[in-house]
Chain A
Amino acid sequence: MRSQGAGWFTRITQGMGIAALLWCVTPATVQAQEAADFFRQNCVSCHTIGGGRLTGPDLKNVEGQQDREWLVRFMMNPQAVVNQGDPYAQKLVEEARGVVMPQIVGMTRERAESLLDLIAAESKLESSQFGGTAISDAPFTPEEISQGRRLFLGEQRLANGGPPCISCHTAKHLGGLSGGRLGPDLSRVYERLEGRKNLAAWLGAPATAVMAPIFKKHSIKQEEVLALVAYLEDQTAKGGEDMSVGGLTFLLIGLGGSGLALVAFDLAWRRRFRSARKELVLKSTGRGEEL
């Protein structure tokens, strides 16, 4: 058994060695493509390259502002750098109104380096593929808003098969028991993210730990993003307090529903067998429990 186990171990380490070797000899273009994919999946919800700031700063020519070593350190663990009291990091947090860049899963030194290479390359271009979503300031049409509502409610399916917002989020004026409670209430998300551009960027590549793995595989299409932005903007515009079903209402509905279910079961099985002996004793003596 022991020698066999050692054999496995050797094989695994060998395999890892070969993988490392392959990584080193991978052509530069493949690496660049990979970095672009990673950027699209993880960064574009807060950053653009030459498209102005969203939640995070515009990354065009970022290496002109800080040296590469600092940037790599920050990318690998932003919170740690902020906690160290680094003045530039503090400034970034301030600019983002207190939002600290989350730690990105899969961010290694190599990856950070390749991302910086990508940013540098994209910065030289006239218009980067990561220039952010162009979104007009014109008011949304009622059709767009209602399409957004349908997408939110799941009445119209997301084209790439992502789950509708309502499965985890709620919003105002949904009626009934409203939406899900797993994610935050989206009634004022437009306000929180400060405008269409940020919201659209977020929806383009949702970055939270829960949403990212789902929407990586089933991204939301550009026109769907617009419709959802329209709907969420409309939600904020309508204003009013967050209106969700309160805990008490939920409890009462639950209790009432359980009660009704019990009554229904009792009716459905009303001819069920209850007891033969107790009934006989009760009938004959009038004292069911005593005999």
Chain B
Amino acid sequence: MNVRSQIAMVFHLDKCIGCHTCSIACKNVWTDRKGAEYMWWNNVETKPGTGFPTAWEDQEKYNGGWELHNGELRLKSTSKTKTVLNIFHHPNMPTMDDYYEPWTYDYQNLFNAPEGPDQPTAVPISTVTGELINIKAGPNWDDDLGGSKIYAANDPNLDGLTAEQQNQLSAVERLVFFYFPRICNHCLNPACVAACPSGAIYKRGEDGIVLIDQNRCRGWRACVPACPYKKVYFNWHTGKSEKCILCYPRLETGQAPACFHSCVGRIRYLGVLLYDASKIEEVGKMPADELIEAQREMILDPHDPEVIAAARANGVHDSVIESAQMSPVYKFVKVWKIALPPHIEYRTLPMLFYVPPMAPVMSERHNGPVRNIGENDNLFHEIDEARVPMKFLANLFGGGHEAKVRYALRKQKAVRWYRRSLTVGDVTKELADRILAEAGSTREEAEAIYRLTSLCTFDERFVIPPMHREEAIEMMEDPLEHKQNVGFGFLTGPKRGL
């Protein structure tokens, strides 16, 4: 057992209101620079929709992530041979059009326009060419089903849905969408790290944050096609790749990352997970339908004395272990099993988990009062009759398999029944208990899920471990190395000590 710690995340999609505050917080802190205009380390997508860059989930096109080949894991986009063959042209590179051509507006025109019969306007100007542009794409171009005939209709997650199901997604009175905020998943088996020919990308040993060393990056861009989530971006100004750094300077000073901190819907949770790093390869090679369970198996119980001992032996600090024991992520992912990794079939083992969204209440009217659809005029309809087809959610969060998604949704719904029985009282306790039992839950668990979902405080959402940078640094460098050294201007070191 090779126990390591990882800062992991949960996004509770049932709470996301799609306000993009997280994106703006991130943009203002990190990517408001030349060459980084088009980068959205955090972005919010509308589902169904094609997201950013357009149709990034279509790995037939983008060739991101890993694939199983004769029982071995292999990058889809590159290999040692392909790196040499494609040295002048990477055939899987997204084009600028698939992100968008970044632009600004000619604000000066508002002040300097010559007098005329019309109000002056600020016309869009490309920040790449400086010319006027006709904007054809943007970072959230398909937001709230904008252009849905083009974008939502071509969501790669619609794969496997019947034509009727697909049509109903946009039918009048059935229309549905939800939001899907995304940052770097800080994967356990990151494809970007594996693809980098310069060895510039690394997964930080103490907390699993995946970072690009800007001094070692040589701008080969192999990481850009390799990441199946398209969360590595190439800065055209510096000639180096950049990605989400999980605001590690904030984490190291005990603050939540900017996008977490600013989240209006409080959908984001962050905490430490202890996992068995020796299992990464084995889990990565599991059959697709066992991946989610296998990844859960990797995550270890931070209360288990054996795990604690192994963690200590591996240099994980006691305070980090304590933090792992309070981690909200551990509860969502491992205890309650209602948070699921996005697209586990890419086999990168993402460490950002999503609580799948409950679809809106469905109702219908036939020449009379509005009725809720479902068994016995249920207020909370059966999840399989939800507006969002189960298959769609399964493609997103279940690696194409419905069982885990159904389990997560049933448990969430059971919590609603249980709370309804307490607060409104039109549901009998017996019925609530029956539904809880059917969902594999108990009153205590439902209460805990409810509290962490609805009443969670700042400190319950973000259980940030002390980062112990001083210890992490000591692994690489001797802090006393420069003790006798002086700065520029003296030829001999000063005498110190007795």
Contacts and interface: CB of A to CB of B under 8 A. Distances in A.
Given A278-B97, A280-B55, A273 B147 contact: no
A280 B94 contact: no
A100 to B, nearest CB: 51
Contact of A277 (B54, B92, B149, B153): B54
Contacts of A275: 95, 97-98
Nearest to B77: A273
A284 B152 CA distance: 11
Contacts of B50: 276-277, 280
Interface string B142-162: 000001011101100000000
Interface in A250-291: 269, 271-278, 280-281, 283-285, 291
B150 A276 contact: no
Nearest to B89: A269
Contacts of B58: 276
Given A280-B50, A291-B147, A272 B92 contact: yes
Contacts of B365: none
Interface string B185-206: 0000000000000000000000
A273 B63 contact: yes
Contact of B62 (A269, A273, A278, A285): A273
B91 interface: yes
B150 A284 contact: yes
Nearest to A283: B154
A281 B94 CA distance: 16
Contact of B53 (A269, A274, A276, A284): A276
B277 interface: no
B17 interface: no
B136 interface: yes
B154 A280 contact: yes
A276 B62 contact: yes
B54 A280 contact: yes
Interface string B343-387: 000000000000000000000000000000000000000000000
Contact of B150 (A271, A273, A280): A280
Contact of B98 (A276, A283, A284, A285): A276
B93 interface: yes
Nearest to B92: A273
A271 B77 CA distance: 12
A285 B63 contact: no
B451 interface: no
B91 A269 contact: yes
Contact of B91 (A273, A281, A283): A273
Contact of A276 (B91, B94, B147, B153): B94
Contacts of A274: 95
A80 B284 CA distance: 84
Contacts of B147: 291
B272 to A, nearest CB: 36
A271 B62 CA distance: 11
Nearest to B85: A268
B211 interface: no
B136 A284 contact: no
B33 interface: no
Interface in B46-65: 50, 53-55, 58, 61-63
Contacts of B62: 273, 276
Given A280-B54, A280-B55, A284-B149, A273 B154 contact: no
Given A276-B55, A277-B53, A291-B150, 7 more contacts: A272-B92, A276-B50, A277-B55, A277-B97, A277-B137, A280-B50, A280-B55
Interface of B: 50, 53-55, 58, 61-63, 89, 91-95, 97-98, 136-137, 147, 149-151, 153-154, 225
Q: What are the 3 tightest A-B residue pairs by CB atom distance, in nearest-first order? A: A272-B91, A277-B54, A284-B150
Interface of A: 269, 271-278, 280-281, 283-285, 291
30 contacts: A269-B89, A269-B91, A272-B89, A272-B91, A272-B92, A273-B62, A273-B92, A273-B95, A274-B95, A275-B95, A275-B97, A275-B98, A276-B54, A276-B61, A276-B94, A276-B98, A277-B53, A277-B54, A277-B55, A277-B98, A277-B137, A278-B97, A280-B50, A280-B55, A280-B154, A281-B150, A284-B149, A284-B153, A284-B154, A291-B150
